[in-house]
Structures are given as structure tokens and as C-alpha cells.
Amino acid sequence: MNELYELLENISRVLWFVYAMALLMFYYISKKYYGAKSSLITMIIILVSNTLMLGYQEVLVWYIEGSPGISSMVHFTWFMGFASFYLISLAVLYKVHKAENVKISTLGQFTGVSFLVSGCLQLAQYAEIVIFKTNVNMKAIYTIGIPTLNIAMAVVSFGLGLLAIYYLHFNKKGLEGLKRWTI
């Protein structure tokens, strides 16, 4: 378990850095091209959410290592806590876009779906362990699914940022070629 936790922790830290770099790219793009506001909002929400979840994870791991005999409390705080983070982040994503009267970009839509699926995976894993008292069916899906969604979100956000910068500087039409992507 320690090796898996260390691997996931290292992946989380690398992803935080990738999110931060993508945020900087979209900040730069939004200064050059006003239409990139949705992606900037999305990256801010991703980075803040990810930072809060990293801190929450650190606290939970510290607590789990200090109190090994309280598994039901740990399962509740772990799975329900992370499910809450994902679903609250999803709500904030859509509320901020609505409040700013900004159309949700492709990145925002992808992020919203990722938050929803991640939150549902957390809830399903909790239900299997606590309600059904098993850890067979969802374990592989959960163990692979959450990191895969987080890696996909980082790759998509960083990739769209690079693509937008390329179009902004090297394409004669600027970001016009990316209009269908709604940067």
C-alpha cells in the first residue's frame, strides 16, 4: 500500500505542476486574446481544487497513520470528502461561468465531466466498501480510474494551452482556427 500511495502522491504533485503551467499559459492567452476567459476560469478552479485535495489527502494520511483502527471513519472521510471536492468543484465551475456570463469552453466541458465521473467513482467506492461490505468490484476501476481521469485532465489542459499558444503566434489567423474549440 505504501508504494502505491507514494506513486499516487508523486503523480499528484506532478499533475499540480502541469495544472499550474497550464494556468500560466491560459493567463498569457487571455491577456492576448479576450475570448480565452473560460479556459482561464477552468484552470483556476482546477488548480484551487487540486491544491485543496492535496492538502486534504495529506491530513487524512497523517490521521490514518496515527490511528490505524478506525476504518469506517477513514472510509467515510476519504471517499465522501473527495466526492464532495469533485462535486463542489463541478458546481463552482458552472456557477462561475454563469456569473461571468461566459460560454463554457471545451476544456471546461471536459473538466466538468471529469469532476462528475471522479465524484461518482468516489461515491461508488464508498458504497461498495461501507454499504455492501466488499472491495472487489470497484477497486480496480477506482484505483485506475481516478488517476487516469486526473492525468487526462492535465494532458488535455496543457495540450490545449500549447495548441492555443501555437495558433496565437504561428497561425496567420490567430486563434480563429480554434474558434470551434471555444478556447
Compute the distance between CA of residue 132 and CA of residue 139 in angstroms, rounded to an integer.
13
177, 168 Cβ separation under 8 angstroms:
no
Query: Is the sign of the CA dihedral 75, 81, 84, 85 positive or negative?
Result: negative
Three cell numbers written together for 157: 489542459
Query: Is the sign of the CA dihedral 40, 92, 84, 105 positive or negative?
Result: negative
User: Which has more confidence, 80 or 75?
Assistant: 80
| pLDDT tens, residue by residue, 104-148 | 988 999 999 999 999 999 988 888 887 877 777 777 788 888 888
Three cell numbers written together for 171: 497561425
* pLDDT, position 97: 95
* Domain segments of the chain as ranges: 2-181
Average pLDDT, rounded, for the chain: 84
Q: What is the pTM of this model?
A: 0.86
Compute the distance between CA of residue 116 and CA of residue 98 in angstroms, rounded to an integer.
18
